[in-house]
Amino acid sequence: MVRTRTVWATAALLTATLAVAAAPAVAAPTTAPRAAAACPTGWGSLDKTSFAGTSRPLTNVRTGRHDCYDRFVIDVPGAASAALGYSVGYVDQLYQDGSGRPIAVGGGAVIEVRVNAPAYNPETGASTYPGRVAQPLPGVNLTGYSTFRDTRYAGSFEGVTQFGLGVRARLPFQVLVLPGHVVVDVAHTW
């Protein structure tokens, strides 16, 4: 009888030990960095195009950093979404429309961004965007960006304005059209 109690006591102790060992550990709160956000996938890296067009001139280009992607925004005030056309895709070399002049763009890969809107007032010919051909975009600072490396203005020819966007590598991107804006998001990873 003493032997049976010893066996049962040993079994109970072993079961309690195993239960404690199998229970998940709960860590104390820390000040560790936030976990990476779940990033969208499936954008792909093939060319994206819309053939719409507007005579409303573009006035500004800006960029933004997000958890999963870097954003490139072209402002075309007053243009309806349906009127904003674009062509966005990876190129081996950026060439200026009209002249065919090559424009150097830094980075591991180059995205050519064309917006079917002029960078000048069609009635007067006066420039509405302060960019200079082959130069970095005015007011754009890419310090601290995960994907973007360089931006270049390639000019505006026959109502189409062209930019070069240097990125870290050939990564997936998406193009969004909002009233008055063409948006290019380039993912940080595949």
pLDDT in tens, 67-123: 999 999 999 999 999 999 999 999 999 999 999 999 999 999 999 999 999 999 999
pLDDT in tens, 147-178: 999 999 999 999 999 999 999 999 999 999 99
Q: How many CA atoms within 13 Å lie on the side-chain side of 69?
A: 19
129, 57 contact by CB (below 8 A): yes
Strand partners, 163: 113, 153
